[in-house]
Amino acid sequence: MISHAVVAEMNLDDCENSIFTYVKACASICWEMRIHQPPVCLEFVEVDDQTPLNTATYKHYTKSGPRMDYVVWPALYLYKGGPLLSKGVAQGK
């Protein structure tokens, strides 16, 4: 299973059980997203001083504003170029 490879790569064999369980769950979810046909898409964006915060794609985190300061969580699409499943979260400025 992919989660075992992730745990081995991150050297988590001796970590707290709750962390181990969390990492395994994350790895499993990411793997399921990847093998879905077509693959589910997380949209990662490069953020600079002028990157607009598109409220159709992102919700504000703790501060609003017309531009992004940083991305808290990426937007999730059914597939690349497909419909939005879940808005991302970004800090505004």
How would you write the pLDDT of the chain (93 residues) with one tens digit per residue? 677 777 778 777 777 788 878 888 888 898 999 999 999 999 999 999 999 999 999 999 999 999 999 999 999 999 999 999 999 999 999
**Which residue bears the tokens 């703790």?**
62
- CB neighbours of residue 65 within 10 Å: 13
Identify whether residues 43 and 24 lie together within a single domain. no
pTM: 0.77
Give the count of domains, the chain: 2
Identify whether residues 31 and 54 lie together within a single domain. no
pLDDT for the residue numbered 36:
92
Identify whether residues 48 and 5 lie together within a single domain. no
Identify whether residues 56 and 71 lie together within a single domain. yes
Domain containing residue 18: 1-35
Identify whether residues 24 and 68 lie together within a single domain. no
- Sheet containing 41-43: order of strands: 41-43, 75-77, 84-86
Identify whether residues 56 and 87 lie together within a single domain. yes
Identify whether residues 10 and 31 lie together within a single domain. yes
pLDDT for the residue numbered 11:
79
Distant-in-sequence, close-in-space partners of 12: CB < 8 Å, separation ≥ 6:
19, 20, 23
